[in-house]
Every structure is written in C-alpha cells, then in structure tokens.
Amino acid sequence: MEALTPTTVTAALIVAAFGVVGGIVIAKMAFARPAPGGPYPEDLNHRVLVEAQNLAHVGGCRFDLPSGRAVWSDEMYRIAGLEPGIEPPGFWAFTGIVHPEDRDSVRRGLHEAAGGIATFDEEFRIVRPDGSVKSVRGVGRRESDDEGNVVHLFSAFVEVGAGAGEGEEEKEKSKAEPEPRIAPMAAPVAEAARAEAALTEARSELAVAQSARVEAETARTKAELESRAKSKFLAVTSHELRTPLNSILGFAEILKQQMFGPLGSERYVGYASDIHESGEHLLGVVNDLLDLSKVEAGRMELEEETLDLLEVMRDCITLVQEQAQELGIILKTTVPRNISDLRADGRLVRQMLINLIANAIDFTPKGGWISVSADDGPKGGITLTVEDTGIGIAAEDLNSVLTPFHTRGKYAKSELFTPGPPGSPSPRGTGLGLPLVKSLIELHGGTFRLDSTPGEGTTVTLSFPPERTVAIEAEKISQAR
C-alpha cells in the first residue's frame, strides 16, 4: 500500500468535507498535468492544493518532533485565528489553543501518534485569541527516519460545519448567531510562544551544562595525568637520593665512632657527627617525599596488624624525648590503660605520630609543652591527639599548610619563636610533615583535623574509623592495671 502523504491526508479530509463527487473533482484538479508551456507541475499542484484547502477549510500542520517546532499552512492560521507568519505553537504547546475540556484527549492522541501507539484522529474545539470557538477534526500520520525513529507528525485539521457552498444567507445567519464563545484564556497564543521560548532556553542550558561537564572531565583527566607524572618524578628522585645517602650515613657513623682508630683531631669527630645528623635529616625528608608520592599515586599498601597503642606511644616518645629535653620542652602523654587495640599499619601509625611530635617541637619555644594522647572515640573509633603551646598557625594558612612544601608563613619567623641551641631543627621545617600525615590517616579511612590559634598553640587530631577498633581481652586489661 502506498504510504500516506500530506497531500493524501488533505485529500481524504476534502472528500469528507465535500463528499465523494466533490472530493474527486478537487483531487483531479490537484493532480492534473498542466497544458504545454504552463507552470511546472510542482508549482501548480501546490497552488491547487492550497486553494483546495481554503475551499474545504482544511488546515495543514507538520510537527518536527526532535525540536518540537511546527509549520502551519495559511488555512491553519485562519482556523486558529492567528496572523500568518508568527511562530505557531509547536508539538508541546499545541494544546494551549485547544479548549480546556478537550486538552487531555488531544494531548494523549498526539503523544500516542508520535510514539507509534495509535494514529491521530480526534474531533475537538480550538479557542481563538478573540475567545470564539472552532470545532475541528484532525487526522495525522507519522514519518520515521532510516533508523525507525519517528521524526515528523503530519496533521490536517478540517473545520467541522464549514463548507465551500456556504451562501450569503448562511453567512448572515452566522453573523446574527455567532459561534459560542468562552472567556478568553490567558492569551493562549502568547502562552504557547512562551512555552516554545522556555523549551529553547532549556535546550540551550542543557547544551551549556553538557559542555561544562566535558570541560570538567577533560580538566580532571589532565590533572590526574599531571599528578601521576609528578608522583613518578618524586619517587624516582627520592630513590636516587636515598641510595647514596645511606652510604654517607654509614661512613659518617664509622668516622664518628672512630671504629678504625683516632682521626687525629677532635674537630674531625665533630664534623663527622654534623655530617651524620644532616644526612639523617635529609634522609627523613627523602623518605617523606617517597611516601607522599606513593600515597598520591595510589601505590601505598597497608601492612595491617593489631597494635597495642600503649606500646606504640612509648616507642614514639622514646625517639623524641632527648630532642625535646635539649630544647627545654616538656612532653606529656595521656593514654588510658584500657584503651582498645588498633588495626592499622604499625610503621605508618608511628610515622604519623613522630612527624606530628617533631613538627610540634620545631614550632614550640623553650619552656613550652607538648601533649600526646590517645582515647576511644564516642562513636567507637580511636583518636590520637598531639597538642602544643607553640607559635600556632594563622587562620589564612590553615588550609595552605596542608599543601606539600608550604610552611607556616609569617609566624615561622615571629618573635613568638625562640630558636633552640645551635644544630636544632629549623622552625620552618620542610612543609611535608602535615600533608603526609593527612594522606596517611585518610589512607586508613580516617579523618585529619587541624585547630590552631596564633600565639597559643596547635592541636592535630587523627580519628580512625570504628571498624579499625579491636576490643581487648579482660586479661590484658587486668595486666595493664
């Protein structure tokens, strides 16, 4: 069977309007070939079809479903009471010119036709801008693309009760007895235009959002690549530095201990000691760089074990006790004897605590104190806290000090800080301690909190999640007491 076209749809309605005989006559007019030398068939067919639509009071409409826009014939404008040339209501806004009582039926019919569920064949009323009502019957057909997607809906609307044979007497009667009117709706045409404008704006906003999403994804990918490249560079550089440093430390230790006999002068022993201490400091920096690069690259793996926090705290305090005493800083520890065990990487937990304590020593003046404590958190987790009475951190630096290589800014050189004896660590540090600790606690699924007041001190709290808490046995609690 030949597919329906706008012409055949219109022809069918013309037959319905004029009867079989009248419809055949007009159809023949529409498809008649021109006389030799006459206009092209396409032009003639178009003119005859337009005239036939006008005579039969049939309006044509094509809905473009992807865009929602519509194209109307001149007769369709007349039926709807609109000025030809203005933007007609599209697919989504068409029901704005339909009588309120008929809107649901028309909307359902159009959507079912567009979705391929049924054909469009509805009789309904159109409300014109002046409030008058026109009864029409609409039929339509779908047009699909090569992939079977419905892209167009062709419709024809015939004015019910109107015909080409309407005489002067009937026209006068129509004037004397006007069609029923309803109160003009809130500018249905303007409403339809606003709906079309809103739809266009929504599409534009969606396009902008999609563009922004693509740009964000591109930026994220670029940042990840740069981060990986940086981490790889740090890892390679750190490894190349650590290997010769181990040799320097080893030979400096031999010279300092004079293992193979006297060096000939006491100064050489002092020099060897300085070399050893400087080498250890540099090795610590290199190790921090290596660990930080591993965490950022996602290559740091946890070697988990059950940790006795009393033992862990003692180990850490022992390592820094002598340095704190030399600088006149008091170390305090608070650890409940019945504190739960912790499931974590022992080496990394010790590294976090030592880094925090060493950082506190670097920024705490003589006569100050540092408190190291551990406790069971209120929600089942374990918290480790390092608090000092040092120079503190300015509010504007609280976020930046968590960036690698960033120090405490102006307070590192403030009169609030009194340097220790010669050879003591620089109060400005390397800027790696806090970022590394934050990365390591987050690697354990925990959180890092930094609170500080310039001139009063700093408190760092490490919170491990509840799933890392291991309840200790009653026998162990008894032994601890």
Model confidence at 189, pLDDT cuts 50, 70, 90, reads low
Which of 260, 278, 300 delimits the end of a domain? 300
Of 434, 432, 400, give the one whose Cα is nearest residue 293.
Answer: 432
From the centroid of its chain, how far is CA 133?
Answer: 50
Q: Which neighbouring-strand residues pair with 376?
A: 382
Residue 54 reports pLDDT greater than 70: no
401 shares its domain with 291: no
Specify whether the CB–CB gap between 291 and 436 falls below 8 A: yes
204 shares its domain with 72: no
From the centroid of its chain, how far is CA 129?
Answer: 45
All residues at 6 or more sequence positions from 74 whose CB lies less than 8 Å from its CB, including other chains: 50, 54, 84
239 shares its domain with 311: no
Q: What per-residue confidence (pLDDT) applies to 477?
A: 46
467 shares its domain with 355: yes
Residue 363 reports pLDDT greater than 60: yes
Integer Cα distance of 49 and 55 in angstroms: 10
Specify whether the CB–CB gap between 370 and 332 falls below 8 A: yes
Residue 1 included in any domain? no
309 shares its domain with 250: no
Provide the residue type at 229 as one letter: A
Integer Cα distance of 62 and 274 in angstroms: 90
Lowest mean pLDDT among 219-233, 330-344, 443-457: 219-233
Q: Which neighbouring-strand residues pair with 384?
A: 374, 462
Structure token pair of residue 165: 């044979």
Of 337, 398, 334, 401, give the one whose Cα is nearest residue 369.
Answer: 334
417 shares its domain with 293: no
For residues 445-461, average pLDDT: 93
28 shares its domain with 172: yes
199 shares its domain with 109: no
C-alpha pair distances (Å), 210 with each of 66, 200, 206: 18, 15, 6
Count of positions (residues) in the chain? 481
Residue 17 included in any domain? yes
User: Under DSSP, is residue 392 helix (H, G, I), strand (E, B) or coil?
Assistant: coil
434 shares its domain with 316: yes
Q: What per-residue confidence (pLDDT) applies to 481?
A: 46
Residue 83 included in any domain? yes
Residue 358 reports pLDDT greater than 80: yes
Q: Which residues of 352-386 are buried (b: 16+ CB within 10 A; e: fewer)?
A: bbbbbbbbbbbbbbeebbbbbbbbeeeeebbbbbb
Q: Which domain holds residue 296?
A: 186-300
All residues at 6 or more sequence positions from 440 whose CB lies less than 8 Å from its CB, including other chains: 291, 295, 348, 351, 352
Q: Which neighbouring-strand residues pair with 126?
A: 98, 134
Structure token pair of residue 292: 């930080």
Instruction: Report the share of the chain in percent with pLDDT over 90.
Output: 22
Residue 312 included in any domain? yes
User: Under DSSP, is residue 15 helix (H, G, I), strand (E, B) or coil?
Assistant: helix
Average pLDDT of the chain, as a whole number: 76
For the ranges 14-28, 146-160, 291-305, the maximum mean pLDDT occurs at: 146-160
Specify whether the CB–CB gap between 98 and 106 falls below 8 A: yes
Residue 385 included in any domain? yes
Residue 191 reports pLDDT greater than 50: yes
For the ranges 113-122, 159-168, 303-312, 466-475, the maximum mean pLDDT occurs at: 303-312
User: Under DSSP, is residue 418 helix (H, G, I), strand (E, B) or coil?
Assistant: coil
Residue 330 included in any domain? yes
Integer Cα distance of 279 and 273 in angstroms: 10
Q: Which neighbouring-strand residues pair with 461?
A: 385, 449
Integer Cα distance of 430 and 408 in angstroms: 10
333 shares its domain with 473: yes
364 shares its domain with 311: yes
| CATH assignment at residue 357 | 3.30.565.10
Which of 157, 178, 199 delimits the end of a domain? 178
294 shares its domain with 314: no
Q: What per-residue confidence (pLDDT) applies to 20?
A: 39
Specify whether the CB–CB gap between 406 and 400 falls below 8 A: yes
From the centroid of its chain, how far is CA 274?
Answer: 53
| CATH assignment at residue 295 | 1.10.287
Integer Cα distance of 192 and 128 in angstroms: 13
C-alpha pair distances (Å), 159 with each of 5, 184, 297: 20, 20, 73
| CATH assignment at residue 77 | 3.30.450.20
Task: Give helix 309-326 / helix 346-362 axis angle, nearest 10°.
Answer: 30
Per the structure, the count of domains in the chain is 3
Provide the residue type at 480 as one letter: A
Residue 16 included in any domain? yes
Residue 476 included in any domain? yes
Specify whether the CB–CB gap between 287 and 239 falls below 8 A: no
Q: Between 355 and 256, name the one with better pLDDT.
A: 355
Which of 280, 300, 320 delimits the end of a domain? 300
Q: What per-residue confidence (pLDDT) applies to 241?
A: 76
Model confidence at 110, pLDDT cuts 50, 70, 90, reads confident
